[in-house]
């Protein structure tokens, strides 16, 4: 025992300082984890107790590490987004007095003990991402935030449906799914919450997925030069750190966590004619007949809320639509599928079937005192199904069957943020959350996901064919159930370009099946704007033309003959390209690689792809470079990233790593094709149910880089592909080796193409070449991607379509290995 001598004043001073320290700690508005007190290692997980918090660090794979942190002991694990479980990985966990060290094959994790802080490093010790010293993770009341050191030159991309620039540096965003009719081009938040982004610095890339459904906030150096941060208004700090050398691998690892999109029906990739609203039935049939008469290929017509009886869900207005089943059958006979809108609000009305059955099943969300929440939307005062309960989803699916049995092919989920007049649902409304009740504050951002899930599972269970499900509101993981469109945009030039960036950002965030209202939803597009927007929309996955009530008509023929010809040209091109697009959608269902592909994915360290002059450019798949411009532009500046680029219309070649100024006209959208690309095409059809000719066109572009394209085909509608009913083959081009190889086909589906016509772009003139050792004759000819524009320009000169000189030859389509020496 040690004896301490201290006079009374010394004792009083010590006590005062101790009390002051305790008081200051108790009164601090900010709480931090403090120092590590206890560490427990179990398999691939480290559990940590600190002065003020509890943490779990779990290795999900060699490239993915999960971090959980809370002031209270961590609850049982649950997520609507994450469907993956930790995979067995080779790891090593050690510790000393200063740190805990986790090593995988792909990265290192260093967890400081005094205080608790996390650093992620490459295997050779480079810092990928680290907590900002002195801030790390903290709580202000129930709000939790993690602060990361802002690295020199760091860029940020992703975060889903967010306005602003491709590079998020210097910006801040909030996630709270919102009904934002006619939103401004800088509006935040919008309709969806995808709290996943990627950081880029010093030739290093990482991803962070913050899985917390409370209102969340992200700061990428806005109003500070010290940190980036992410946090939420409640719940725990729960994020997944992903490290790969390439962005596409980070996106795939994110999809491994949250799921991949299902392969959509082929018809949903065709042109969709929408309006708010087409009614009565005679008007719907008039639109359908005009599409066919004017030879505008199309696969769908969508019915907005006016098909219902007084906007009541699961009803039809019998005066406007006396026999829905007969109407949908007539449309289907014309090759047109019917999609109907569904909103979650169920009108409070005695005798109304959905209201009575919903009450009987007790599936509506409630206040804490047990009364159903009532909010006002289109039908009037409504109750809302609780899609966070299996009981609620089952009820919805039973009601939804009515549509399927009436021949409806698509379900459009709208107003599912939840939207109500006033936009202020009370925080104290309760949701089941799969039997673990939570408030509206935690359930709000996942409501759209759970509604889309109920719609998809219900439609799939009832239909023999693949359903099409569309959603406006979403959370991470919604890609497993529904396509997504960007909501109520405006018929304005900057909205058209914003839409492209929104789709690129969604693609960077694991959402591949996306679209926007081409032509703009609110307001009236000019002829030029409409025409340009329809050209761009031909190169996005969900091709939808839509405009609101009390605007002028926006069908392709509504803007004059010249606009119709130009628009029809690009819709035709879309249908020619369906073999390419369907193959790319199949790729997305397996790898999460988006079809609207930001240039940042393949050119991550090229600063010019982030330049605001070029950030609207994107790849359609991996072959087509799309350069959108305002319809009023006469000249445009285009950046060509690394590679060799062919003008799609003329085959003129531009070298990569180059900026170029080009003349622009409304007749053609600037489109380029990368050297080495392989583009399969078919003959023109008026809808996907129509059989193309038996010859597949295979466009091959000379380039120095090797390339592999996976061609994919199935029946386009059913589920036989899940049991081997598909046709797939790899087509590889060796680049400088000048060799093209079609691998042996896999799957047991018989391709509809009996012949392959090879169309060679950029190769020197040859009269013959070798296929599987045999000499084949080659024909020189011209090829045009667009039909001639038959109208005369203002000077009275006939305007022909641009064409390119190509060489072509045709062979029988053997399913065996085919080698072509070019």
**Same topology between domain 31-258 and domain 271-351+390-421+463-594:** no
Query: What residue has token string 């285009």?
Result: 638
645 pLDDT exceeds 50?
Answer: yes
Closest CA to 313 of 399, 394, 395, 386: 399
Query: What residue has token string 């799309």?
Result: 626
Confidence of residue 54 (pLDDT cuts 50, 70, 90): very high
In angstroms, the CA 442 to CA 41 distance is 31
Label residues 735-755 b or e (16+ Cβ within 10 Å = b).
eeeeebebbebebebebbbee
- pTM given for the model: 0.95
Planar angle of CA 315, 347, 213, nearest 5 degrees: 105
Q: What pLDDT score was predicted for residue 7?
A: 56
User: Is the model more confident about 13 or about 428?
Assistant: 428
Q: For 778-798, what is each residue's pLDDT tens digit?
A: 999 999 999 887 654 555 555
Q: What pLDDT score was predicted for residue 5?
A: 46
Q: What pLDDT score was predicted for residue 737?
A: 75
Q: For 334-389, what is each residue's pLDDT tens digit?
A: 999 999 999 999 999 999 999 999 999 999 999 999 999 999 999 999 999 999 99
In angstroms, the CA 242 to CA 65 distance is 7
- With residues binned 3-state (H G I as helix, E B as strand, rest as coil), the percentages for the chain, rounded to 5, are 25, 30, 45
Q: What pLDDT score was predicted for residue 28?
A: 85
Mean pLDDT confidence for 668-679: 97
Confirm if 636 and 668 have CB atoms less than 8 A apart: no
Is 309 labeled as catalytic in the residue annotation?
A: no
Query: SS3 sequence, 541-591?
Result: CEEEECCCCCCCCCCHHHHCHHHHHHHHHHHHHHHHCHHHHHHHHHHHHHH
Closest CA to 313 of 227, 232, 382, 259: 382
Mean pLDDT confidence for 805-813: 96
Helix (H, G, I), strand (E, B) or coil at 206: strand
In angstroms, the CA 474 to CA 485 distance is 10
13 pLDDT exceeds 70?
Answer: no
The gap from C-alpha 90 to its chain's centroid, in whole angstroms, comes to: 32
The gap from C-alpha 482 to its chain's centroid, in whole angstroms, comes to: 10
The gap from C-alpha 559 to its chain's centroid, in whole angstroms, comes to: 31
Helix (H, G, I), strand (E, B) or coil at 245: coil
Confirm if 344 and 375 have CB atoms less than 8 A apart: no
Q: Tell me what the pLDDT averaged over the chain comes to.
A: 95
CATH 2.60.40.1180 fits 599-673, yes or no: yes
Q: What pLDDT score was predicted for residue 745?
A: 97
Q: What pLDDT score was predicted for residue 17?
A: 45
Q: What pLDDT score was predicted for residue 16?
A: 46
- Strands 658-663, 635-640: pairing kind: antiparallel
Helix (H, G, I), strand (E, B) or coil at 444: helix
Mean pLDDT confidence for 437-446: 98
Closest CA to 377 of 415, 349, 340, 428: 415
Cβ count near 425 (within 10 Å): 18
Q: What are the extents of the domains in the chain?
A: 31-258, 271-351+390-421+463-594, 599-673, 678-821
* Beta-carbon contacts of residue 17 (< 8 Å; ≥ 6 apart): none
- CATH assignment of 31-258, among 2.60.40.10, 3.40.50.2000, 3.30.390.30, 2.60.40.1760: 2.60.40.1760
776 pLDDT exceeds 50?
Answer: yes
Q: What pLDDT score was predicted for residue 736?
A: 80
Confirm if 331 and 338 have CB atoms less than 8 A apart: yes
- Strands 143-149, 137-140: pairing kind: antiparallel
- E strands, 181-287, are 192-193, 196-201, 204-210, 216-219, 227-232, 237-244, 272-273
Q: What pLDDT score was predicted for residue 800?
A: 58
Label residues 213-233 b or e (16+ Cβ within 10 Å = b).
bbbbbbbbbeeeeebbbbbbb
- Tell me the C-alpha to C-alpha distance, in Å, between residue 540 and each of 151, 252, 616: 34, 20, 13
Q: For 109-142, what is each residue's pLDDT tens digit?
A: 999 999 999 999 999 999 999 999 999 999 999 9
Confidence of residue 640 (pLDDT cuts 50, 70, 90): very high
Confirm if 57 and 67 have CB atoms less than 8 A apart: yes
Cα atoms found within 13 Å of the Cα of residue 462, Cβ hemisphere only = 25
For the chain, give the number of residues. Answer: 822
653 pLDDT exceeds 90?
Answer: yes
3 pLDDT exceeds 70?
Answer: no
Q: What pLDDT score was predicted for residue 735?
A: 83
Per CATH, which fold does 271-351+390-421+463-594 belong to? TIM Barrel (3.20.20)
Catalytic position from the list 63, 70, 304, 417: 417
Is 51 labeled as catalytic in the residue annotation?
A: no
Domain 678-821 is in which class? mainly beta
Q: What pLDDT score was predicted for residue 415?
A: 98
**Residue 619, beta-bridge partner list:** 597, 625
Residue 518: phi and psi, rounded to 5, are: -65, 130
Q: What pLDDT score was predicted for residue 795?
A: 55
Mean pLDDT confidence for 801-805: 87
Q: Where are the alpha helices (DSSP H) in 592-704?
A: 599-602
Catalytic position from the list 236, 304, 414, 562: 414
Q: What pLDDT score was predicted for residue 26?
A: 54
Is 611 labeled as catalytic in the residue annotation?
A: no
> Above pLDDT 70, what percent of the chain?
95
Provide the 8-state DSSP code for 19.
Answer: H
18 pLDDT exceeds 90?
Answer: no
- Tell me the C-alpha to C-alpha distance, in Å, between residue 669 and each of 136, 271, 288, 528: 48, 18, 27, 12
Q: For 504-529, what is each residue's pLDDT tens digit?
A: 999 999 999 999 999 999 999 999 99
Label residues 104-114 b or e (16+ Cβ within 10 Å = b).
bebbbbbbbbe
* Beta-carbon contacts of residue 722 (< 8 Å; ≥ 6 apart): none
> Above pLDDT 90, what percent of the chain?
93
């Amino acid at each position: 025992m040690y004896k301490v001598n201290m006079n009374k004043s010394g004792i009083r001073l010590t006590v005062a300082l101790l009390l002051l320290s305790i008081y200051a700690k108790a009164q601090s508005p900010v709480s931090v984890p403090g120092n590590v007190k206890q560490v427990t290692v179990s398999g691939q997980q480290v559990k940590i107790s600190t002065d003020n918090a509890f943490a779990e660090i779990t290795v999900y794979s060699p490239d993915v590490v999960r971090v959980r942190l809370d002031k209270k002991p961590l609850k049982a694990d649950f997520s609507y987004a994450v469907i993956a479980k930790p995979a067995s990985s080779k790891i090593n966990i050690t510790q000393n007095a200063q740190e805990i060290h986790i090593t995988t094959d792909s990265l290192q994790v260093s967890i400081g003990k005094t205080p608790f802080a996390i650093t992620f490093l490459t295997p050779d010790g480079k810092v990928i991402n680290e907590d900002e010293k002195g801030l790390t993770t903290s709580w202000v009341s129930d709000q939790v935030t993690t602060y990361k050191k802002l690295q020199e030159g760091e860029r940020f991309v992703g975060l889903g449906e967010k306005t602003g620039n491709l590079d998020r540096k210097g910006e801040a965003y909030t996630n709270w799914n919102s009904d934002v009719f006619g939103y401004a081009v800088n509006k935040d938040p919008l309709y969806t919450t995808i709290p996943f982004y990627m950081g880029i610095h010093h030739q290093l890339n990482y991803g962070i997925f913050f899985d917390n459904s409370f209102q969340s906030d992200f700061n990428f150096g806005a109003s500070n030069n010290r940190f980036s941060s992410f946090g939420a208004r409640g719940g725990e700090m729960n994020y997944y750190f992903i490290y790969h050398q390439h962005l596409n691998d980070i996106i795939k690892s994110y999809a491994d966590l949250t799921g991949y999109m299902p392969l959509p029906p082929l018809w949903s990739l065709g042109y969709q004619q929408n309006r708010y609203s087409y009614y009565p039935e005679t008007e719907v049939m008039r639109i359908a007949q005009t599409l066919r008469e004017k030879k505008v290929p199309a696969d769908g017509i969508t019915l907005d809320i006016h098909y219902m009886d007084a906007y009541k869900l699961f009803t039809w207005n019998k005066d406007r639509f006396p026999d829905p089943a007969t109407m949908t059958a007539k449309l289907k006979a014309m090759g047109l599928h019917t999609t109907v809108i569904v909103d979650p609000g169920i009108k409070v009305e005695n005798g109304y079937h959905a209201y009575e059955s919903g009450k009987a099943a007790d599936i509506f969300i409630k206040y804490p005192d047990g009364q159903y929440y009532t909010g006002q939307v289109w039908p009037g005062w409504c109750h809302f199904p609780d899609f966070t309960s299996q009981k609620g989803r089952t009820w919805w699916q039973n009601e939804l069957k009515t549509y399927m049995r009436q021949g409806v092919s698509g379900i459009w989920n709208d107003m599912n943020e939840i939207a109500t007049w006033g936009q202020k649902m009370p925080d104290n409304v309760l949701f089941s959350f799969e039997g673990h009740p939570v408030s509206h504050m935690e359930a709000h951002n996942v409501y759209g996901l759970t509604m889309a899930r109920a719609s998809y599972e219900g439609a799939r269970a009832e239909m023999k064919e693949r359903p099409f499900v569309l959603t406006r509101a979403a959370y991470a993981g919604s890609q497993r159930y529904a396509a997504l469109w960007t909501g109520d945009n405006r018929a304005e030039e900057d909205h058209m370009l914003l839409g492209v960036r929104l789709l690129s950002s969604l693609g960077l965030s694991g959402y591949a099946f996306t679209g926007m209202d081409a032509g703009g939803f609110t307001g009236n597009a000019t002829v030029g704007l409409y025409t340009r927007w329809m050209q761009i929309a031909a190169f996005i996955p969900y091709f939808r033309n839509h405009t609101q009530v009390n605007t002028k008509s926006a069908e392709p023929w509504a803007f004059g003959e010249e606009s119709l010809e130009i628009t029809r040209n690009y819709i035709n091109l879309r249908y020619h390209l369906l073999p390419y697009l369907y193959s790319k959608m199949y790729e997305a269902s397996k790898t999460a690689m988006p079809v609207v592909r930001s240039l940042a994915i393949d050119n991550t360290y090229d600063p010019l792809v982030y330049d605001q002059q070029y950030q609207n450019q994107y790849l359609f798949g991996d072959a087509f470079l799309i350069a959108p411009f305002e319809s009023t532009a006469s000249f445009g500046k285009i950046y060509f990233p690394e590679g060799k680029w062919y003008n799609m219309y003329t085959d003129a070649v531009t070298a990569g790593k180059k900026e170029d100024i080009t003349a622009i006209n409304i007749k053609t959208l600037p489109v380029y094709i990368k050297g080495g690309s392989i583009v399969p095409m078919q003959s023109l059809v008026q809808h996907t149910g129509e059989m193309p000719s038996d010859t597949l066109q295979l466009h091959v572009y000379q380039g120095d880089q090797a390339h592999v394209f996976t061609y994919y085909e199935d029946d386009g509608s059913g589920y036989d592909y899940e049991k081997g009913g598909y046709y797939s083959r790899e087509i590889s081009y060796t680049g400088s080796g000048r060799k093209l190889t079609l691998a042996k086909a896999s799957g047991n589906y018989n391709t509809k193409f009996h012949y392959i016509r090879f169309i060679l772009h950029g190769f020197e003139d040859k009269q013959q070449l070798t296929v599987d050792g045999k000499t084949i004759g080659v024909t020189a000819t011209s090829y045009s991607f667009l039909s001639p524009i038959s109208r005369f320009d203002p000077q009275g000169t006939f305007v022909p379509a641009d064409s390119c000189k190509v060489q072509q030859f045709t062979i029988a389509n053997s399913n065996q290995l085919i080698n072509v020496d070019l």
